DNA sequence: CTAAATTCTGTACCCGGTTCATCTATGAAC
DNA sequence: GTTCATAGATGAACCGGGTACAGAATTTAG
């Protein structure tokens, strides 16, 4: 297994993605054309779209986080909120330079920010499906919506470089205790 | 005031929108081309795009709801959650046939559903700005995110024809009391 | 009536994305 | 090593949303 064919495919996919990210980092997402990417990666435009369904996917394919899996696989003594909180607490520490580049690229393009919303909508649906095993369906959807919107808000803070432990704490306190006091 | 120029503009804008909605209702959003709309409305394509910034805007311009204004203008004795809840309670009763058509059009087009997310992101930002007058900024953003995600979830139920008084009640109970019990 | 400011129009173009027919390289069988 | 089916790559033509531009038409002001 892992014949020549599949190795080459993986190689091509990787080359396309790397070339694209380099160009995006240099000149911004909106100022790079898919024709340029294809040319620089030495593939035909059609080929590029066989590997990535859209230009946005070149960037966003790598940013999906599997909240549904995280929640489904949590310890017995942890609540749903705990599971998501634990994961977000790790986010605060992420500071690889490569992540910073990614954030810069995404933040600088309205198209990518919209695409990010779409990704998150998918995550929300997955999470709702998992929660539906423990709650009635409507509650599951409402919880998934609130959880993901909190994650998104924290992600935005992260993008602005303002994500702190305290912000995470307050976010999940609000989720757990509600807005009655506010 | 209300010179000929402005009257004609309003007229043209209205004609474009009506023609577009008729075509969308007949054949679906994705199967109607902006060239067709422009032709049917007897304007040039360029003109159409001067009135509406995108094809999606032809449908979505009419669905913005001013939650920020609703919250800002609430009675002194009502909480933020109350204000939004009151507004959503009215939504349950909406059943004009024209609304049903709109829902059918939006639900039938992925592009419009994505566009709707973008509209909601804008509403969230506006709401956060209003809440920032009463809360610290991070809390304001978190609250706005949770409120709007709840509204969106309810809107989805509405789209599916499953929005009930009970669903609204449970949604806002969850918002006010949090997820601790779940 | 004339001149200036606005708006509309057609044309040509760009870019993301798809279709199609064709060609090349791979892997399997002999 | 040759043959052959097939997956995959290719270029070129095309589609639809959206924009740039230059010029024509029309409202408004003087």
- Determine contact, residues A113/A106, Cβ cutoff 8 Å: yes
- pLDDT at B53 exceeding the cut of 70: yes
Closest Cα partner for A57 from A111, A6, A103?
A111
> CA B68 to CA B125: how far, in whole Å?
9
Calculate mean pLDDT across residues B155-182.
94
Q: Return the minimum-mean-pLDDT range out of A2-6, A72-76, A151-155, B154-158.
A: A2-6
Calculate mean pLDDT across residues B27-34.
98
Closest Cα partner for B20 from B49, B59, B52?
B59
Domain B1-53 grouped into CATH 1.10.10.60: yes
- pLDDT at B44 exceeding the cut of 60: yes
| Structural tokens at position A167 | 């912000």
What residues of chain A lie within 8 A of the CB of B179, using their CB?
Answer: 79-81, 143, 146, 175-176
Q: Which residues touch strand D (CB under 7 A)?
A: A 5, 8-9, 12, 42-47, 50; B 3-6, 8, 32-35, 45-46, 49, 53-56
- pLDDT at A4 exceeding the cut of 80: no
Q: Cβ of B179 and A153 within 8 Å?
A: no
Q: Grade residue A181 by pLDDT with cuts at 50, 70 and 90.
A: confident
* Separation of A105 CA and C15 C1' (Å): 19
Angle between helices B80-93 and B137-159 (to 10 degrees): 10
pLDDT tens per residue across span A123-163: 999 999 999 999 999 999 999 999 999 999 999 999 999 99
Contacting residues for B144 by C-beta, under 8 A, at least 6 apart? B124, B125, B127, B128, B131
Q: Which residues of B touch A (CB under 8 A)?
A: 79-81, 114, 117-118, 121, 134-135, 138-139, 141-143, 145-146, 148-150, 152-153, 156-157, 167, 170-171, 174-180, 182
| Structural tokens at position B85 | 């809840």
pLDDT at B3: 76
pLDDT tens per residue across span B124-134: 999 999 999 99
pLDDT tens per residue across span A88-116: 998 888 778 899 999 999 999 999 999 99
Closest Cα partner for A154 from A174, A175, A168?
A168
What residues of chain A lie within 8 A of the CB of B81, using their CB?
Answer: 179
What rounded mean pLDDT belongs to chain B?
Answer: 95
pLDDT at A16: 98
Spell out the alpha helix ranges (H) of A28-136: 34-40, 45-51, 55-60, 67-72, 80-93, 97-107, 110-131
pLDDT tens per residue across span B73-97: 999 999 999 999 999 998 888 778 8
pLDDT at B2: 64
* Separation of A6 CA and C24 C1' (Å): 16
In a 10 Å sphere around its CB, with 0-12 CB exposed, 13-18 middle and 19+ buried, how is residue A4 labelled? exposed
Radius of gyration of chain A (CA): 19
pLDDT at B1: 52
From the Cβ of A5, is strand C under 7 Å away?
yes
| Domain boundaries, given as residue ranges, for chain A | 1-53, 63-177
> CA A118 to CA A114: how far, in whole Å?
7
> CA A150 to CA A146: how far, in whole Å?
6
| Structural tokens at position B181 | 């019990």
> CA B159 to CA B169: how far, in whole Å?
18
How far does the CA of residue A174 sit from the closest CA of chain B (Å)? 7
pLDDT tens per residue across span A25-34: 999 999 999 9
- Determine contact, residues A80/A148, Cβ cutoff 8 Å: no
DSSP assigned state of A140:
H
Say what the pTM is: 0.92
């Amino acid at each position: 297994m892992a014949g020549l064919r599949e190795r080459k495919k993986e190689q091509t996919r990787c080359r396309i993605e790397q070339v694209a990210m380099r160009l995006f980092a240099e000149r911004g997402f909106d100022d790079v054309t898919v024709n340029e990417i294809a040319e620089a990666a030495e593939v035909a435009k059609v080929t590029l779209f066989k590997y990535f369904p859209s230009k946005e996917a070149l960037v966003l394919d790598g940013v999906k986080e599997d909240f549904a899996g995280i929640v489904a696989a949590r310890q017995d003594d942890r609540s749903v909120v705990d599971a998501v909180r634990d994961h977000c607490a790790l986010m605060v520490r992420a500071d690889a330079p490569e992540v910073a580049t990614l954030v810069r690229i995404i933040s600088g393009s309205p198209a990518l920010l919209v695409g990010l919303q779409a990704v998150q909508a998918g995550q929300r649906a997955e999470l709702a499906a998992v929660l539906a095993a423990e709650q009635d369906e409507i509650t599951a959807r409402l919880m998934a919506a609130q959880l993901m919107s909190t994650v998104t808000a924290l992600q935005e803070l992260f993008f602005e470089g303002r994500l702190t432990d305290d912000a995470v704490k307050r976010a999940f306190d609000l989720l757990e205790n509600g807005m009655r006091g506010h």
